[in-house]
Structure 1
Amino acid sequence: MLQAVVRHGGFAQAAAAIHKSQSTINHAVHKLQNQLGLKLLEVIGRKAQLTTAGELMLRRASQLLDQAGQLEDIAESLAQGTEAQINIAVDEVYPYRQLAEALQVFSETYPGTRIQLFETVLSGGSEMLQAAAVDLLIAGEIPGGFLGEPLMQAEFIAVAHRDHPLHQRRGRLNLQDLQQHRQVVVRDSARGPRTDAGWLGAEQRWTVSHVATSVDMVRRGMGFAWLPHNRVAHYLKRGDLRELPLEQGSRRYTTLYLTYADQDRAGPATIYLGSLLAATDQ
């Protein structure tokens, strides 16, 4: 009430703004001053203004007021059956920009719902879904016993730094040519049996945990790799990386699916987040 008096310039204006009687606000502010033993307001002309002590107290209390408002929002959401938290596993192949945009829109509609985001590789996300650790999954496979919705087709391109020895060879490259050089592979994030997807059997394989690390190593000329087109398009256009001229298989494709842990029992926030991810521009 004190904040409303200051913000709106007087008791009458505050009463109209927060739908309380003027006498109620007046009584509450005087009671607050008596409890604190401080004069918080003074009337100058026709306008109520904070004293120096009032300015300090209200400034320090602003965070508490914000937290109180957030608590009210959360309580209202929970009363409507909204989830307090959503766990989501997303394969690192999924374009980060699209994910970030969906989460930003979601946060504006459900500001009180927490998000636990797990960035996974290959079968890591499916393992989490089967263990009931996540509510939503975006991955290149649909675990057994679940139904998924196709979101997009991810494209992988065999690339190496423009000065890599593989680009010095004439003609098309074959499997034997590649096996003589270091391949950078992203590790399956699953804890159980893992998949060595894309490995060609090269003796000099380097295995990393994140797509971003793989991109950085290839950019430094440390090896070749099949990398998501959305992660390397800029470097290909700039000429830092070049696509490898393979006899076959220089480009690979996989479909990414959106899968609910249990869509029938999912709450409104989970359904809304799933719809944002499904509607995101490809």
Structure 2
Amino acid sequence: MKTTLEQWRMFKAVVDHGGYAQAADAIFKSQSTISYGVHKLQEQLGITLLEVEGRKAVLTEHGKVMLQRATRLLEQAESMDKAADILQQGVEPVIRLALDMIFPYERLFCLLHDFSSHFPDTRVELTEFVMNGGNDMLERGEIDLLVTPVLPSGHQGQLIHREQFVAVSSPDHPLQQGRKLTYDDITEYRQIVMRDSSRQRQDSGWLGAHQRWTVSHTYTSLNIVRRGLGYAWLPLSWIDNDLQQGTLKPLPMATDCSRYEDLFLIVASPGSAGPATRYLQSLLGLCSDHINNS
């Protein structure tokens, strides 16, 4: 090989941080070491990767191509290091799980109870999100397992849950007057919608209501609707008791207005997943039986 991983690491640091001095601070090397390493890299390859414009290092066209390849190479090398650490330790000390809020929590608690009996010394760090929020964490390498309604590009996922959403309001809401409703009828009233927790900030479930309140947690939406302050599409697994007790009622729509959301299970690094991660993956995967049997 003409080049080394360390040279590619220095090259990527210069690009990521906008210059040689900034890269030196970021990866704890001297500026001269980084400058020499990148210069030697270009010399060995026989192509120019970076050009200095003012005080900033800018990628050439060749540099753009090589940066993509270098990024994949460094990610693979990091994955190998992680795999070796896991093999050395035997069992992972911590698993980072990101879960969309619509996943049924009673089912989650049951599988976590099962997991804790098999891996009592492994910590679980659970992050809850809405819509695309977990995909951002996956992209930044912050999680090990992801349950998401939106399959990110370049990843395969296992369908493990299908959630039904029902349009509901409190029994005394003006929409509960007995007559059959159309979508035009309900847009005249306040709708409670969920905010995407990712950087995209897309609102979930908004169908063009003239009034809307946007919240960031399903429980907040649920409690606002219970108090008669609006209507919302809510997960059936969250409101089943409310419907049975009569504290919430489905909107009397002229046509079925139920919505369905699929959740997919993704393993961030399948090749380096340890025994605890694989076991938690298998427990989450068993949820797909509920879909097949329904």
TM > 0.5 fold call: yes
Counterpart of 1:189?
197
1:160 to 155, 162, 169: 169
Show CA shifts across 1:123-175 (max 9, x none): 111221122111101111211111100102110000011111001152x2122
1:243 to 243, 247, 250: 250
Q: For 1:253 and 1:158, how far apart are their aligned partners in 2?
A: 12
Q: For 1:249 and 1:199, how far apart are their aligned partners in 2?
A: 17
Equivalent residues of 2:178, 2:252 under 8 A apart: no
Letter of the aligned partner of 2:212 in structure 1? R
Letter of the aligned partner of 1:208 in structure 2? V
Q: For 2:255 and 2:281, how far apart are their aligned partners in 1?
A: 36
1:119 to 116, 128, 134: 128
Letter of the aligned partner of 1:173 in structure 2? L
Equivalent residues of 1:161, 1:241 under 8 A apart: yes
Q: For 2:252 and 2:147, how far apart are their aligned partners in 1?
A: 31
Q: For 1:276 and 1:181, how far apart are their aligned partners in 2?
A: 42
Counterpart of 2:63?
none
Letter of the aligned partner of 2:188 in structure 1? Q
1:275 correspondence with 2:282: yes
Counterpart of 1:100?
109
What is the Cα deviation at residue 230 of structure 1? 0.4
1:82 to 91, 98, 103: 91
Unaligned runs of 5+ in 2: 1-85
SS at 2:155 equivalent: coil
How many residues get paired?
A: 204
**Identical positions, percent:** 45
Show CA shifts across 1:66-104 (max 9, x none): xxxxxxxxxxx9855211111110001000011111111
Counterpart of 2:61?
none
Counterpart of 1:265?
272
Counterpart of 1:175?
183
Unaligned runs of 5+ in 1: 1-76
Counterpart of 1:256?
263
2:214 to 207, 213, 224: 207
SS at 2:203 equivalent: coil
Equivalent residues of 2:192, 2:232 under 8 A apart: yes
Equivalent residues of 2:203, 2:214 under 8 A apart: no
Q: For 1:204 and 1:154, how far apart are their aligned partners in 2?
A: 26
Letter of the aligned partner of 2:158 in structure 1? E
- Which protein has the larger Cα radius of gyration, Structure 1 or Structure 2? 1
Q: For 2:87 and 2:99, how far apart are their aligned partners in 1?
A: 26
Q: For 2:239 and 2:284, how far apart are their aligned partners in 1?
A: 22
Please report the RMSD computed on the Cα atoms of aligned residues, expressed in angstroms: 1.6
SS at 1:127 equivalent: helix
Q: For 2:142 and 2:279, how far apart are their aligned partners in 1?
A: 19
